[in-house]
Amino acid sequence: MLELTNLHKTFAAGTPNEKKALKGLSLSLDAGDFVTVIGSNGAGKSTMFNAIAGTFITDEGKIVIDGEDMTFKPDTYRAKCIGRIFQDPMKGSAPSLSIEQNLAIPYSSTKKGIFHRAISKKDREYFREVLSKLDMGLEDRMNVPIGTLSGGQRQAVTLLMATILTPKILLLDEHTAALDPLTAEKVLAITKEIVETKKITTLMITHNIASAIELGNRTILLDDGKIVLDLKGDERKNLTVDSLLKMYREVKGKNFDNDRMLLS
């Protein structure tokens, strides 16, 4: 489903601020894989996501999604098959538009005409149905501007927007990091249900090692622009935070240096 081959990306090349963000990164995902992504700040996690989404063109390497070479395709083209949610709940939606209107934007993207013409009675019934599954009472507030919702409510609706038309790839870029622990737990549960029900191939960046081990079927650890650990199957089944950190020390010959992750 997703093939990343020998990706390289250098920012500000040839200047004192030169940063080699990706250094030959390769990754192969099967359809339906749910991969959690961990690593220290600056390890290349978000850079990898930006490369997949087409935020920039990599210096070297190849990106293939569902058999289609996306290496030189613009982000607008890739957006048709990629859903992405960011850490900031304010991103990914239009705050002045209602919940209903925000849902209608991606839902009507394959139809002709502008989005508000697509909000039929049938559409509204469907929006109520999917919103009710969040168990947040939002199905009775569909005309409320999304900008008035709490961070957790908004992130949950943004998750629905990203998956209301099932994407081939879902990128979750620390999408619960700005939420309080209880709300984060609820949004993660919603995420798990949607991904499993729709069988969406998913990559999720998280700074919570426990969540990285518990969710999905595979965990990768990035360091200095490369994947240094790729854990799945039996190797991941009995994984603990301590054993993962031990593996990291054995691979890199140093301790993991991200206090934010160790304290999560």
Average pLDDT, the chain: 89
pTM score, two decimals?
0.90
Residue 20 lies in a domain: yes
What per-residue confidence (pLDDT) applies to 203? 98
Do the domain assignments include residue 217?
A: yes
Q: What is the pLDDT of residue 247?
A: 85
- pLDDT tens across 117-149, in order? 557 889 899 999 999 988 899 999 999 999 999
Q: Assess if residue 235 is contained within a domain.
A: yes
Say if residues 82 and 260 touch (Cβ distance below 8 Å): no
How many structural domains does the chain have? 1
In a domain, 100, yes or no: no
User: Considering the domain boundaries, does residue 133 fall inside one?
Assistant: no
pLDDT of residue 161: 93
- Residues spanned by the domain of 50: 2-89+168-263
Task: Look up the CATH number of the domain holding residue 196.
Answer: 3.40.50.300
In-domain check, residue 120: no
Per the structure block, which two tokens stand in for 40? 């220290």
Q: For position 109, what pLDDT does the model report?
A: 65
Question: Which segments of the chain have a pLDDT < 50?
Answer: 112-116, 259-264
Residue 71 buriedness (CB in 10 A; 0-12 / 13-18 / 19+): middle
Q: b/e per residue, 193-226, with b = 16+ CB within 10 A?
A: ebbeeeebbbbbbbbbbebbbebbebbbbbbebb
Q: Has residue 79 been placed in a domain?
A: yes
Domain presence at residue 206 = yes
Contacts of 41 by beta carbon, 8 Å cutoff, 6+ apart? 258, 260
Query: In DSSP terms, which residues pair with 39 in a beta bridge?
Result: 222
Give pLDDT, residue 90: 84
